[in-house]
Amino acid sequence: MEFFYTLLCEENIKFVFRLPKSMYKKEREAMDTKDEFVDIILSSNRIGSSKASEKIKNEFRKLGKINLRYNNSFIGKRRRKIFN
DSSP output for 17-82: -EE-TTTTHHHHHT-SSSEEEEEEE--HHHHHT--S-HHHHHHHHHH-EEEEEEEEEEETTTEEEE
- Please report which confidence band the pLDDT of residue 75 belongs to, taking 50, 70 and 90 as the band edges: low
Q: Which of 58, 84, 53, 59 is nearest to 71 (CA)?
A: 84
Per-residue pLDDT at 83 exceeds 60 = no
> For 7-52, how does the pLDDT look when each residue is reduced to its tens digit (9 = 90+)?
787 888 887 777 777 778 888 888 899 889 988 888 888 888 777 7
What pLDDT shows up at residue 2? 59
CB count, 10 Å around CB of 18?
8
Per-residue pLDDT at 74 exceeds 80 = no
- Between CA 59 and CA 55 the distance in angstroms is 6
Q: What is the pTM of this model?
A: 0.64
